């Protein structure tokens, strides 16, 4: 029996020596390695057509019937619910790329798959996997060195040059998204949003709110905080909805009458004692409200509910209140307006209150939103997205998330490279030249690694409907003539200088993608055996009867002891 056939008894399952539970499935050897590579190629085929400005979208429907339309590699990989253990590695690297730099999630999956595809013929010819892994790691180190040498540094001291670089990086990220036609509008909006943050550039300080209706260009950036009107009680409409220079009280206090617990017990002997208990509850509530009113606060926000009594009490005194404010909105309000969130009303001094120039509640589409603008410590912002269908707005949010991550990375790392397959072709050429200078199997393996890098420009051409062979030959000719930034031009159906065309990407995106893809490929290549434990029902049936897991052992009924 061939080693790679299913059920092969490996070293752990020799006849007569059983170390693993009965029913354990082990597969090993060269056939198992080829099987894992094939599984990774199938996964890459699922996202291959989403790459680039002419990439197609995927419609994925989950088990609940919820439809998602996206061309974001990480989103698709998460929704596919992959069960193959080796192929799941590609899901993990897509997630890590999304968390680390936000963009390049499809590229990292394609690169990892192509590295494995190029290694497959060597595995079939008997080359040991460790030789391939060693060569791939050497090629990755050389490629990262070349990227750092070729990357162009942008002068951060020049504000205009820095902003221009950030806008180009954001536009490049958005060019492959659903909102590509509005990329100039959104790239400006994203750069403005990131530049409003503090030096740490915290992602959670950019709030994204989605309101259906209107056009994409109706989306707006609020230099401050905006959140949807919270659940309100009777009396809310009587409150003022506009203030100039108000003080803002940020609370984590419940302002409503609470009924007793079910197991609470109060022993009373007459009606007066009962009245005293009721009056005490009201006095506690009114005491809290009086202390808030004494601070001079005109806007009261609380994470916990504010009941109808308190709502009407505040309305009578021209105070706006909102209860059940989400924690992330409350944190952004605190960051923008200053002050601190109080868990008690006993020490509401002036320094714990927030302030802003303008507070206003106004209509946005079919929703009402509370706006805090002109904040003295505005290190936060809110993007209100408009659009048609819910799936369209969801995809717009994912696109903006990628662009925001790219701009954040570009601000922290001021080196950029040309996109559109330009950097991959440059690396491929340099690695191919290096491979010719070394002897042995490594020459072939590093050349295979360099050829794998061409998957990015080739796929860009195929997704745009171009002749990939013709354009890749042009690119090879241009790069062979000397160092250049020539890549695929999807608008002219030709090869052109993508750096001059402002198709820029932060160098960290390519460094991270190449590192993650190489690590994933090496990990898959290092696995030569899969041991699959039986499920509990299979193990139980076989342990009791030793027969087929789906059959009851002969001579036994339900509940009868096993024969010994």
pLDDT digits (tens, 9 = 90+) for 8-66: 445 555 555 556 565 555 566 788 888 889 999 998 998 999 998 888 888 988 888 88
pLDDT on residue 108: 94
DSSP letters, 342-392, are BS-STT--GGGSEE-SEEEEEEETTEEEEEEES-TT---EEEEEEESSHHH
pLDDT on residue 472: 94
pLDDT on residue 541: 46
CATH 3.30.260.10 domain extents, the chain: 165-223+385-413
First to last CA, the chain: 33
CATH 1.10.560.10 domain extents, the chain: 25-153+418-526
pLDDT on residue 546: 46
pTM over 0.85: no
pLDDT range class, residue 536, cuts 50, 70, 90: low
pLDDT on residue 443: 93
Range ranked top by mean pLDDT from 113-122, 254-263, 522-531: 113-122
Percent of the chain with pLDDT over 70: 88
pLDDT range class, residue 263, cuts 50, 70, 90: low
Predicted confidence (pLDDT) at residue 260 exceeds the cutoff of 90: no
Q: Is 106 a catalytic residue?
A: yes
Contact 56, 49 (CB under 8 A): yes
Backbone φ, ψ for residue 390 (5° rounding):
-60, -40
Is residue 87 helix, strand or coil? coil
pLDDT on residue 145: 94
- What are the residues facing 244 on neighbouring strands? 358
Number of Cβ atoms within 10 Å of the Cβ of 230:
18
CATH 3.50.7.10 domain extents, the chain: 226-262+270-377
Catalytic residue (one of 26, 91, 106, 380) = 106
pLDDT on residue 159: 85
Predicted confidence (pLDDT) at residue 563 exceeds the cutoff of 80: no
Average pLDDT over residues 309-321: 92
pLDDT range class, residue 554, cuts 50, 70, 90: very low
Rounded Cα distance, 337 and 374, in Å: 9
Predicted confidence (pLDDT) at residue 383 exceeds the cutoff of 90: yes
Spatial neighbors of 478 by CB under 8 A, at least 6 apart, are: 484, 486, 495
Catalytic residue (one of 105, 140, 230, 333) = 105
Average pLDDT over residues 191-212: 89
Is residue 70 helix, strand or coil? strand
pLDDT on residue 259: 61
Rounded Cα distance, 188 and 177, in Å: 16
For CA atoms 192, 193, 196, 198, the dihedral sign is negative
pLDDT on residue 15: 53
Spatial neighbors of 456 by CB under 8 A, at least 6 apart, are: 51, 107, 110, 111, 421, 424
Rounded Cα distance, 372 and 224, in Å: 6
Predicted confidence (pLDDT) at residue 6 exceeds the cutoff of 70: no
Predicted confidence (pLDDT) at residue 484 exceeds the cutoff of 70: yes
Catalytic residue (one of 68, 402, 489, 515) = 402
Backbone φ, ψ for residue 360 (5° rounding):
-155, 140
- What are the residues facing 306 on neighbouring strands? 255
pLDDT range class, residue 539, cuts 50, 70, 90: very low
Query: Torsion angle, CA of 102/107/110/114, rounded to 10 degrees?
Result: -130
Chain segment 140-153, per-residue pLDDT in tens: 999 999 999 999 88
Predicted confidence (pLDDT) at residue 109 exceeds the cutoff of 90: yes
Tell which residue, 218, 398, 225, 390, has the closest CA to residue 322: 225
Predicted confidence (pLDDT) at residue 564 exceeds the cutoff of 60: no
Q: Is 402 a catalytic residue?
A: yes
Rounded Cα distance, 100 and 355, in Å: 35
CATH number assigned to the domain covering 226-262+270-377:
3.50.7.10
Average pLDDT over residues 271-294: 85
Predicted confidence (pLDDT) at residue 457 exceeds the cutoff of 90: yes
**Tokens representing residue 142 in the block:** 């050389």
pLDDT range class, residue 550, cuts 50, 70, 90: very low
CATH of 165-223+385-413, one of 3.40.50.920, 1.20.58.220, 3.40.50.620, 3.30.260.10: 3.30.260.10
Predicted confidence (pLDDT) at residue 339 exceeds the cutoff of 70: yes
Contact 339, 354 (CB under 8 A): yes
Architecture of domain 25-153+418-526 in this structure? Orthogonal Bundle (1.10)
Catalytic residue (one of 26, 50, 68, 72) = 72
pLDDT on residue 548: 42
pLDDT on residue 27: 61
- Give the residue carrying structure tokens 């902003």: 163
Q: What share of the chain is helix, strand, coil (3-state, %, to 5)?
A: 50, 15, 35
Tell which residue, 537, 525, 544, 517, has the closest CA to residue 143: 517
Average pLDDT, the chain: 85
**Tokens representing residue 202 in the block:** 């915290």
Is residue 231 helix, strand or coil? coil
**Tokens representing residue 276 in the block:** 């005293």
Number of Cβ atoms within 10 Å of the Cβ of 13:
17
Predicted confidence (pLDDT) at residue 316 exceeds the cutoff of 70: yes
**Which region among 203-207, 276-280, 436-440, 516-520 has the lowest average model confidence (pLDDT)?**
276-280
Tell which residue, 38, 40, 46, has the closest CA to residue 113: 40
Backbone φ, ψ for residue 197 (5° rounding):
-80, 170
pLDDT on residue 204: 87
Contact 381, 222 (CB under 8 A): yes
Task: Give one word for 387, left, alpha or beta, with left for phi > 0 and alpha for psi -120 to 50.
Answer: left
Predicted confidence (pLDDT) at residue 3 exceeds the cutoff of 70: no
Predicted confidence (pLDDT) at residue 99 exceeds the cutoff of 50: yes
How many helices (H) and strands (E) would you count in the chain?
17, 20
User: Bigger pLDDT: 123 or 376?
Assistant: 123
């Amino acid at each position: 029996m061939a080693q790679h056939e299913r059920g092969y008894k490996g070293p752990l399952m020799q006849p007569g020596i059983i170390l693993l539970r009965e029913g354990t499935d082990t597969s090993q050897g060269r056939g198992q390695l080829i099987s894992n590579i094939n599984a990774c190629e199938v996964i890459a085929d699922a996202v291959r057509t989403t790459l680039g400005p002419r990439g197609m979208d995927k419609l994925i429907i989950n088990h609940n019937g919820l439809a998602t339309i996206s061309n974001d590699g990480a989103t698709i990989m998460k929704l596919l619910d992959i069960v193959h253990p080796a192929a799941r590695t590609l899901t993990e690297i897509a997630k890590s790329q999304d968390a680390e730099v936000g963009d390049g999630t499809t590229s990292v999956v394609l690169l990892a798959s192509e590295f494995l595809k190029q290694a497959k013929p060597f595995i079939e010819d008997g080359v040991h996997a460790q030789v391939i892994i060693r060569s791939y790691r050497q090629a990755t180190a050389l490629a990262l060195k070349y990227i750092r040498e070729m990357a162009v540094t942008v002068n951060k001291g020049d504000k205009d040059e820095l902003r221009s670089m950030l806008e180009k990086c954001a536009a490049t990220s958005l060019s492959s998204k659903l909102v590509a036609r509005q990329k100039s509008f959104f790239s400006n909006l994203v750069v403005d949003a990131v530049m409003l943050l503090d030096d740490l550039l915290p992602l959670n300080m950019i709030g994204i709110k989605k309101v259906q209706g209107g056009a994409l260009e109706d989306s707006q950036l609020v230099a401050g905080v905006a959140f949807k009107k919270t659940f309100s009680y009777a009396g809310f409409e009587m409150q003022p909805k506009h203030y100039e220079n108000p003080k803002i009280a940020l609370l984590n206090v419940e302002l409503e009458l609470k009924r007793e617990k079910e197991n609470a017990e109060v022993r009373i002997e007459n009606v007066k004692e009962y009245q005293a208990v009721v009056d005490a509850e009201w006095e506690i509530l009114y005491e809290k409200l009086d202390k808030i009113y004494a601070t001079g606060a005109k806007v009261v926000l609380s994470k916990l509910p504010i009941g109808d009594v308190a709502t009407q009490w505040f309305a009578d005194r021209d105070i706006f209140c909102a209860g059940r404010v989400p924690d992330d909105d409350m944190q952004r309000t605190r960051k923008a307006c200053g002050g601190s969130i109080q868990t008690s009303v006993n020490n509401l001094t002036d320094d714990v209150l927030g302030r802003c120039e303008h507070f206003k509640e106004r209509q946005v589409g079919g929703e009402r939103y509370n706006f805090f603008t002109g904040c003295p410590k505005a290190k936060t912002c809110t993007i209100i997205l408009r659009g048609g269908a819910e799936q369209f707005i969801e995809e717009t949010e994912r696109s903006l998330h990628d662009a925001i991550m790219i701009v954040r990375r570009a601000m922290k790392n001021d080196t950029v490279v040309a996109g559109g397959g330009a950097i991959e072709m440059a690396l491929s050429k340099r690695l191919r030249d290096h491979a010719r200078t070394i002897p042995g199997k490594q020459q072939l393996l590093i050349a295979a690694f360099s050829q794998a890098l061409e998957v990015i420009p080739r796929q860009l051409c195929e997704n745009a409907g171009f002749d990939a062979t013709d354009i890749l030959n042009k690119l090879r000719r241009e790069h062979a003539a000397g160092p250049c930034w020539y890549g695929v031009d999807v608008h002219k159906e030709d090869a052109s200088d993508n750096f001059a065309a402002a198709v820029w990407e932060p160098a960290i995106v390519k460094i991270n993608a190449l590192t993650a893809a190489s690590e994933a490929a090496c990990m898959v290549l290092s696995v030569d055996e899969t041991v699959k434990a039986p499920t509990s029902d299979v193990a139980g049936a076989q342990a009791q009867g030793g027969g087929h897991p789906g059959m009851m052992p002969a001579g036994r009924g339900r509940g009868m002891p096993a024969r010994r």
